[in-house]
Amino acid sequence: MLRKVLKTLVIAVLIVTMSCSIVYAKPYTFYPPIETESKVLPRGVKESTVHVTSNLRGVFFIAADLSIINKNGKIGVSGKTYMREPVDEVYVTVYLDRLEADNKWKQVKLYDIEFHSEDYPEGLTEPGFDFVISDQPSGYVYRLRGTFAAFKDGAMEAFGPVTEGILIE
């Protein structure tokens, strides 16, 4: 009798132990580090665009676009965000990286862009930006990394796109 109770107890403990597993969620990161790999596109390619879309956790942030464009020796930057519904604020940081002689990326500039709902009476749903960088030397390969963050009612969703590298000449 004692043996049967002990056997049942051991089996019950094994079943409980085997059916319970610890799950660790991967942290959600939206800042792409400088070490993020990028291909260098062939000479003559004038633009690299990356389009990132929402993961399953996203409620209001659908997607983000980031482009680097060769504008005759100057660096064109273009970006756009897409929301399911109007949000309160959107913050974008664009990092300009240059490929150095040792084949490592080096951040040379960063640009902060802000969008606020009070500036968009029809709703902040698709804010975008375009600008040209003219203070960097040509003859180098450049890429863009971005942090796109949208805020609504205290919640935040974000993306971290990275373009491929293109030669600016």
Among 32-36, 151-155, 165-169, which is the least confidently predicted range?
32-36
pLDDT at position 31 over 90:
no
Read off the pLDDT of residues 44-79 as tens digits, 9 standing for 90 and up.
999 999 998 876 667 899 999 999 999 999 999 999
Which percentage of the chain shows pLDDT scores above 70?
92
Beta bridge partners of 79: 66, 129
Q: Are 95 and 146 spatial neighbours (Cβ–Cβ below 8 Å)?
A: yes
Rounded to whole angstroms, the Cα distance separating 71 from 150 reads 29
Burial of 64 (0-12, 13-18, 19+ CB in 10 A): buried
pLDDT at position 166 over 60:
yes
pLDDT at position 25 over 50:
no
Domain locations along the chain = 32-168
pLDDT at position 21 over 80:
no
Q: Would you list the DSSP string of 104-130?
A: -EEEEEEEEEEEEGGG-TT-SS--EEE
CATH of domain 32-168: 2.60.40.10
Among 14-18, 47-51, 98-102, 143-147, which is the least confidently predicted range?
14-18
pLDDT at position 23 over 70:
no
pLDDT tier at 116 (50, 70, 90 boundaries)?
very high
Bigger pLDDT: 30 vs 117: 117
Q: How does 44-54 read in b/e, with b if 16+ C-beta sit within 10 Å?
A: eeeebebebeb
3-class DSSP assignment, residue 48: strand
The overall average pLDDT reported for the chain is 89
Residue 28: which of 157, 155, 151, 153 has the closest Cα? 157
Q: Which residue has the tokens 């604020």?
A: 89
146: left (phi over 0), alpha (psi -120 to 50) or beta: beta
